[in-house]
Amino acid sequence: MRIEGAGFWYHVVCRGNARQRVFCDNKDREAFLGRIGTVAGAFHVEIHAYALMRNHVHLFVRTREANLGRFMQRVLSGYTQWFNIRHDTCGHLFQGRYKALVVDRNAYGADVSRYIHLNPVRTNVTKKEEVARQQAVLREYRWSSYRAMIGIAPRQEWLERRETLSRWGGTVREQEANYARFVEEGLLGNIGDIAEEARAQSILGRDRFVDRIRRILMGRKRCDMESKGAQRELTAERIEPVIDRVAQAYKVKVADLMRTGRGRGGNEARQVALWLARERCGARGTMREIGQAMGNVSRSAVSAACRRVTQRAKRNKHLARMLARLL
């Protein structure tokens, strides 16, 4: 799912098409990093960590503008063209669309940075080695930002270190040593795939951060087909607060909304509750489950109530305003 915004942090993963190699030699890797630096400068994107593997790439970036898609398109398409010319090939080099998690930097930034930097020792061969050997491989690997981050190799001009290191001590030396200790302690445990903790396969963060992104998505009128399922999952509510909202708007009791008769507030309030539940809870439950929660209403009755509300709102401005406010 694409969630773009100014000042957002992302963990981006680009994989080779059909798991093919995206780097054949060091000249390819140097060309990719050169392109990253050039395009990052042009698009005002900060690069905070990277790891180039045989058939995929990890990046940890912050976008100053809402332009992650344009940035990545320029990086990947330009490198693909260069790669195809150099190796006398054609077609797609990278697999479909890259993956991008929006990251709550305060809660997960350090974990994402460590996860990316540990990638060179997560191969099937290296992870079977002793910890001392893994540590050596990690510190010898030229194609990640780790060496520059801990001060044992020069850094590229475009690589940002300050925000990553700032929490790890007073002096730069202390920060480098403490960050290295934090990353390499990960060799002692089984650090899982960071993406497994993401919400809707899109957001890595605490509840407050996820709520912030949810509010942004709720304000969007359009999204691409790939994003609709995740958008619905993120913006879905539990049915109880939805019913409470309708009861308060119509000044009726929740129990009245559960009755099939025309109690206080009329039939409209109940129908609006069914309509709103379908709109706001659809990713959490089917219409049958919504009907059960609303007093064992059949699926067809839920559907009919929703149609009636939609049609009436086209003619009734007061109802239309009520629905807009409830959403």
C-alpha–C-alpha distance, residues 316 and 327, integer Å: 17
**Do the strands 99-103 and 203-204 form a parallel or antiparallel pair, or are they unpaired?**
parallel
pLDDT along the chain (327 residues), means of 10: 86 93 96 97 98 97 96 96 94 89 95 96 79 93 97 96 95 97 90 79 86 76 54 72 90 81 62 86 69 83 87 90 87
The rounded distance, in Å, linking the Cα atoms of 132 and 140 is: 12
Helix spans in the chain (H): 26-43, 68-87, 105-118, 131-140, 146-149, 162-165, 172-185, 207-218, 225-235, 239-250, 254-257, 266-281, 287-293, 299-315, 317-326
Residue pair 102/10 in contact (Cβ under 8 Å)? The answer is yes
What does pTM read for this prediction?
Answer: 0.73
Q: 85 is written with which tokens?
A: 């010319």
- C-alpha distance from residue 88 to each of 21, 57, 82, 280 (Å): 14, 22, 10, 52
Cα angle vertex 228, ends 92, 324, to 5°?
Answer: 150
Tens digit of each residue's pLDDT (9 = 90 or more) over 293-317: 888 888 788 888 888 899 999 899 9
| Amino acid occupying residue 184 | E
Residue 62's pLDDT is: 98
| CATH class name, domain 236-326 | mainly alpha
Any idea which fold 8-215 has? Alpha-Beta Plaits (3.30.70)
How far apart, in whole angstroms, are the C-alpha atoms of residue 295 and residue 303?
15
Start-end of CATH 3.30.70.1290 domains in the chain: 8-215
pLDDT score recorded for residue 103: 96
Residue 52: in which H helix or E strand, if any? Answer: strand 45-52
Residues of the chain with CATH 1.10.1750.10: 236-326
- pLDDT, tens only, 127-184: 778 899 999 999 999 999 999 999 999 999 999 999 999 999 999 999 999 999 999 9
